[in-house]
Each structure stands twice: as C-alpha cells, then as structure tokens.
Amino acid sequence: MTIDWQKEAEGYQDDLLRDLFTLLKIDSVRDVEHKTDTAPLGPGPAEALKQMLALGQRDGFKTLNVDNVAGRIEYGDGDEIFGLFGHMDVVPAGPGWQTDPFAPEIKDGKLYARGSSDDKGPSIAAYYALKMIKDLGLPVNKKIHFIIGTDEESEWVGINRYLETEPAPDFGFSPDAEFPIINGEKGIATFLVSFAKQAPAPTSMTLNRFEAGVRVNMVPQEATATISGTLPGTFEHELAQFAAAQNVTVNTQPVAGGLTITMTGKGAHAQEPKDGINAATFLATFLAPYPFDPAGKTYLTAIATKMHSDSRGSRLGINYTDKVMGELTASPDLFNFTQDGPQTIAINVRYPQGTDADKIRDQIETALAPDDVEVTINGHAQPPHYVAGDDPLVQTLLAVYTEQTGKPGHEQVIGGGTYGRIIKRGVAFGAQMEGQENVMHQANEYMPVKDIIKAVAIYAEAISRLVK
C-alpha cells in the first residue's frame, strides 16, 4: 500500500485547525494561585487537558485522565509501548502582542496565538498523525501512548505524577522542538541569587524597586526601576541616548521624589539568550554608574558587570563547552529588588555534559562574592540527556524527515528541555521546520499553517514505521 502522506495530511486541515483553535483559545498558563481540588495546576491547564482528551474520545481512542494534571490517548496493542509526549500548558503571554494571544488568528498563512508553536500546534499535528494511522487502518504492533502534560513550562508536576502511576514508554518522541531531530538536550537548572542585606548610608540616589521577568525560561522583555533622590539634570537625556544606542525603548513616569523607568527589549526563549534583548540587564547597566545606596549599588553592579551581554556565563565563571553538546548558556530572567524586601535574581542555565548544577552553583557564588550573596538551586535540576545517533529510533526519524523534505537529516543538541528526556530512548522531533524563525516564548508567537500540515505527514509516516 503506497500512501501519499502529504495528500492525506492536507485532507485533515480544516478539522485540525478547528480543533487547534479550540485549544488555543484556552489560557492554559500554570496558575496554582487559583488551584482547586479538581484543578491542581490551575483551571486553564485542566481545561486544556480535558479538551485534548475529549478529541480522543470523539475519535474513538481510549483515554485516561490522571488527576487533571496529565492524561493519555491510547491506540494499538503489543508488548512494547511507543510514546508521544506533548503538553497543553503555555508560558504567560507577556507584553508586545499585536493580536490577542488567546484569540487565534491566521495572517499571511501564519497562525498567531500563544501555544501555536509551543506546544499546542505540534501536539495537534501529532494527534492528527495518530488519527490518520487509525483511519487508514495501518498495522500497529505496539501500544501507542500519547501522553499529555500540563506544566512542562515549569515544574513538570503533571508528567511526574503520570509516571508515578502509569508505565513509561519504551521509546518515543516529543513533538515540541524542531526538525530534523533533537537527540540531545542540555541540563537545565535555575539558580536563585539572594543578596545579603546592607545597612543604609547617606547617598544622593536610592534604588527603591527593580523588577523584571515573568518566567525563569523567558528572557525578560520589560524591566522597571523606581528611583528617588537628587537626579543629575542630564539624567533623562543620558537615558534617552543610551536607549537609542542600545536598540531598546524607554519610558519614564515621575513619582513622589523620583522617577519610574520602564525599559523594553525583546523577549526570547531562555535556551538561547542571544535571540532576545534582556531589558533588565540593559536597564541595570545604565543605572549602575550612578551614586546609589549601598544595596542598590551592589545589586545593579552585579547585574551590569557579571550578567549583561554574557549569554555563555563567562563573567560568572561558569562557561563550559562540550564537543557533542556545545556551549553552556546563562540567562538571568527574574529580578526582584526592594529596599525592605527580597533582593534576588534567578538565572536560568542550560549546561552540557561535563559539568553539573552543584559545580555551577559554587562557581556563581564565588564570582559574585560569598559575603554578598547566597546562591541556591531553585527547584529540580535536570541533567543532560542524549540518545546516540546510531539508535534505530533516531535513524528512522531522520530517514522519514529526509524522504519527505529532501533535506539531509542530522543530529542536534539544544538548550531547551522537552518531555523527550523523561525516558532513556526519548528524543524531540519537530515540529518547527529547519530555517523557520523560532518564536517560542516570544510575543506574537506563530506557526505557519503549511508547516503544521507537513508535520502531520512526517509524524504519521514516522509513527507508522516505528510501531508496525
């Protein structure tokens, strides 16, 4: 039986987009502040999970809901389990959108919405690939478990809960990255830098507040500082000149005794900080030379001298390169400073094999001076993950990709983290096409409709080969 995978995929386009629009309209940002007994990670993630499982029920698949934090769509039977791993949660929309991030819209062939490329668009492509296999009655000699999580962008509570109660697949892939394949993922850890309290001293300027960032895996697009005291007469002119020279924008608002400054750069996924313009480090770099109070001066200077425009962590002493997995990346993403409250910075680090989170923690603390800061690992550090290029899983996926696109397949290692790393023989496979702009975690996130449909075709053939 010869199958025109692309033609078959195109036949599903209208239904796929209708289902995808339904998912994209759900604001499924993890929201534990509004959790309930039936929505432990917040109402949005639970609703999106239920909607995804409802698609499976509608189309005749067996489904499972694990405590409204994870789920499964199941097909086929056999001794081995092949896994697909998607997620329904999204990062916060953040500023800078030209459309409503939760009102999906197609413009010039691009589907704009939060989650269109990460990960609702790719997940629905994988789902329709599975549906195609079922509709065509293709041979399936393994169990297929399409596992769906609801907080991949944060703490992985959902997928971990799933694995506590359900069997882990023997091998599989996550449609949550890019083609031709991601068979290596760097380790991921977030380091919380907490500054020691300092006694106040008479100064002409005071840093009252400094804040930026919405998530530890997003380069902050906006940063705000409130300052008070005697500002130089040329201060705002110098600020405007700095912004113009550095390709950032700035707004000021007078407040009692001082000024609030908002600087805007460009958001990006923390896996490659160079793709963004970190508004917080630019703002701190401008402010650091001025005569601020001791606490403010220490905070701003640390950012300006140890973190600004240094995506490889050289000034923090953590730079490291592995010949297979590449360079370590460091992205300071969450900033919180008040005179009487927290004075912290959260640095998201993606590290290759050859170093580890404990070593990185020690190096950061040494670079920033142990007397001034305490550095802790914030949450669970995920170690590096790699599946060898000669593994049959990798070879099959690359072969399908090459046959359907005409482009040579090759191994890739990324700084992003996907559910592919939850099993030993797990990789990430698409759905972003080679050469396509990476807009994951950015304002105006989009995915070309033609790429979603092409992913359906690639996924269907790949799954069919792997489970027959």
256-281, pLDDT tens digit by residue? 889 999 999 999 999 999 999 999 99
Q: What is the pLDDT of residue 35?
A: 96
155 tagged catalytic: no
DSSP 42: -
> pLDDT by residue (tens digit) across 330-349?
999 999 999 999 999 999 99
Average pLDDT, the chain: 96
Q: Write out the residue limits of the CATH 3.30.70.360 domain(s) in the chain.
A: 188-377
Among 27, 119, 152, 153, the one annotated catalytic: 152
Q: Taking the domain 188-377, which CATH number applies?
A: 3.30.70.360
Work out the pLDDT band at 202, boundaries 50, 70, 90.
confident
Scan for tokens 């989170």, then name that residue.
Answer: 357
User: According to CATH, where is 3.40.630.10 located in the chain?
Assistant: 5-186+384-467
Residue 20 phi, psi dihedral angles, 5° rounding:
-65, -40
Among candidate residues 89, 119, 151, 275, the one labeled active-site is 89
Q: What is the pLDDT of residues 80-97, one digit of tens each?
A: 999 999 999 999 998 899
* 152 in active site: yes
Model confidence over 432-460: pLDDT tens digits? 999 999 999 999 999 999 999 999 999 99
State the Cα–Cα distance between residues 378 and 146, nearest whole angstrom: 30
Tokens matching residue 315: 């000034």
Q: For the residues 144-160, what does the mean pLDDT come to? A: 96
**Which tokens go with 336?**
């919180």
Q: What is the pLDDT of residues 297-339, one digit of tens each?
A: 999 999 999 999 999 999 999 999 999 899 999 999 999 999 9
pLDDT tens across 402-431, in order? 999 999 999 999 988 899 999 999 999 999
pLDDT higher than 80, residue 1: no
According to the model, what pLDDT value does residue 346 have? 98
Q: What is the pLDDT of residue 29?
A: 97
**CA dist list (Å): 244 to 232, 239, 248, 285:** 19, 9, 7, 14
CATH, domain range 5-186+384-467: 3.40.630.10
Q: What value does the mean pLDDT take over residues 218-230?
A: 96
As a whole number of angstroms, the distance between CA 174 and CA 84 comes to: 6
Mean pLDDT, range 97-125, rounded to an integer: 98
The answer to whether 293 touches 207, Cβ cutoff 8 Å, is yes
Tokens at 372, concatenated: 């001034």
Name the residue among 62, 60, 27 with its Cα closest to residue 146.
Answer: 62
> What does the alpha-carbon distance between residue 203 and residue 295 come to, in Å, rounded to a whole number?
11
Distance CA 326, CA 259 (A): 43
Could you give the CA distance from residue 179 to residue 392 in angstroms, rounded to a whole number? 17
Q: What is the predicted pLDDT for the residue at 417? A: 87
Share of the chain above pLDDT 90, in %: 95
Q: Which of 352, 314, 335 is nearest to 192 (CA)?
A: 335
| Average pLDDT rounded to a whole number, residues 157-183 | 97
